[in-house]
Amino acid sequence: MIRSDKELLDFFSKLSIPIAETIIKERKYSLGEKIITQEKHVSSIFIIKHGIVKCYVNEDNGRDFIQEFFSKGEILGELEVLNDIISFCNAEAMTEVIVYQIDQKGFYTLLKDQPEFNLLLLKALSNKVRDTAIRASQQQSHSIAYNLEKLISFSSEESKMLSKQDLADYLGITLRSLNRAMKDIIIH
């Protein structure tokens, strides 16, 4: 439920000092602060060094839909920078978050000069596509109660900090539906 990418984090942690000093900035975000804002230009990618970020879309009906929760080593902003498009979602700090920030020029330098980074980026992108497809399939094919039970079974210490509203937004349901599903689970 809260995704992480140890390989990608290790890659950035081990970059040589001259490369790191010229390309990477370390930034800190406080709880609730947006790292990326929906429908705004994104000029950098971000690798989460520490903390938890929720990525969500503000829908036209005023509701939020949480796409994913990200933690250590996950990359943000890569699609926007690669395609030179505005952001289709928000990325918001759920805890204190420290990121490695790499501007577009530095990102392209890494792609050109670091073959290992290319492979790690491809893996990260393919994992995002796979996980999104699996989640969409499960949410369409199973009841809310089943999806909630499955979500609870994957629960980690980090995920215990999620609010009921976050869980409902992640499942794409209302808070009322979540409460009914939780009641059904307890009764059965």
- Tell me the pLDDT of the chain (188 aa) as tens digits: 688 999 999 999 888 788 788 899 999 999 999 999 999 999 999 999 999 999 999 988 888 888 888 999 999 999 999 999 999 999 999 999 999 999 999 999 999 999 999 999 999 999 999 887 877 777 666 666 666 666 665 555 555 667 777 777 777 777 787 777 777 766 65
Amino acid at 17: I
- pTM (whole model) above 0.85: no
Amino acid at 169: D
Cβ pair 93, 33 in contact under 8 A? yes
Q: 145-180: buried (b, 16+ CB within 10 Å) or exposed (e) per residue?
A: bebbbebeeeeeebbeebeeebbbbbbbbeeeebee
Alpha-carbon torsion, ordered 79, 71, 116, 125, to 10 deg = -40
